[in-house]
Amino acid sequence: MPTIARSNYQAPFLFRNGHMQTIVPHWLRRFDDGFYQRERIDTPDNDFLDLDWSKIGSDRIAILSHGLEGDSHRPYILGMARTLRQHGWDALAWNFRGCSGEINRQLRSYHNGSIEDLDCVVRHVRNTGSYRTIALIGFSLGGGLTLMYLGKNGHALDPGIRKAVVFSVPCDLRAGAMELAKCRNILYMKQFLSSLHGKIRAKMALMPSAINDDDYHRIRNFRDFDDRYTAPLHGFRDAEDYWQQCSSNQYIHHIRVPTLIVNALDDPFLADRCYPVNEAANSDHVFLEMPRSGGHVGFVQFRKDKRYWSEVRAMEFLDRE
């Protein structure tokens, strides 16, 4: 589909900066999560996934996939789940392995290509027999995972999945990793590596002979981390092999359901190659929207109903016939 030429998103005054859009919502946005109902399901490899349901009795549901080191209680997930409720949709926010507050059982964790876990969630939803319509919504890593899932399944995709919306997606993992390794993004990188270190240490406590954090301080960027942990733990040769196999841009041309990709042009996490302009232009099903502002999973908007633009935009796309 042609790239959406003009986005209607207008950043508020003082939020026309990608770093402000990225940082401020994380600290200032708060929601009551009392509408969640937690369920734990088993995976085929004897691990588990924790799911948080938002149910209003609808026959339509959106499955929400969070970003790197996120979880189902991040403001962008809660804000989307709340908006879906208000529009007559059920929602299911699933936590990647190790992201729900309890470390997972297996040595493996999650990564940009963990589509078997998303498939496990989709199958679980379908097996309830409650839903005629399923939508997928993903953010950052969860957005890339969603695109890869849609593309790799292609014509074999579950027919109940009708649409998808993804935000702030590093469609080219190598380019995104190189962008975050730049000096201007050092604070983000340090935060990610610190959070990931916590996961490594927790896993060490469960299986000390299988994994260690010796000289972890020498890890400076995602290449270092993915070479040491992500690649060997998940069957990839090295970071380059992992990035090549799990970059979502190569799967876009196989997507067969209406899909909206929204990547802000001032996203500090995204390099030029993370904007799949050519891939979207050559697809019959994928729309690419690139607002001038929005940061990384930001899209701040001050409305009486407290919705952000990303939530309004997602509902516009999902509810359109």
Distance between CA atoms of residues 309 and 307, nearest Å: 7
- Cα gap 22→205, rounded to integer Å: 33
The question of whether 267 is a catalytic residue gets the answer: yes
Give the C-alpha separation, 112 to 31, whole Å.
Answer: 27
Cα 173 to Cα 144: distance, rounded to the nearest angstrom: 9
Q: Phi-psi region for residue 254, left (φ > 0), alpha (ψ -120 to 50) or beta?
A: alpha
- How many CB atoms are located within 10 Å of the residue 189 CB? 19
Select which of 65, 100, 114, 140 is catalytic: 140
Residue 129: how many CB atoms within 10 A of its CB?
A: 7
Tokens representing 42? 């088993």
140 catalytically annotated: yes
274: helix, strand or coil = helix
Q: For residue 304, what are the CA distances in angstroms to 74, 301, 307, 308?
A: 21, 10, 8, 10
Task: Kindly name the residue from 66, 111, 234, 296 that is annotated as catalytic.
Answer: 296
* Given the residues 73, 267, 283, 293, the one annotated as active site: 267
Alpha helices in the chain (DSSP H): 18-28, 75-86, 115-127, 141-153, 173-180, 186-206, 222-225, 231-233, 239-246, 277-281, 309-319
- Written as one string, the DSSP assignment of 48-105 is EEEEEEE-SS-SEEEEEE--TT--TTSHHHHHHHHHHHHTT-EEEEEPPTT-SSS--S
By the 8 A CB rule, do 171 and 143 touch? no
Q: Which amino acid is at 81?
A: A
Catalytic amino acids? 140, 267, 296
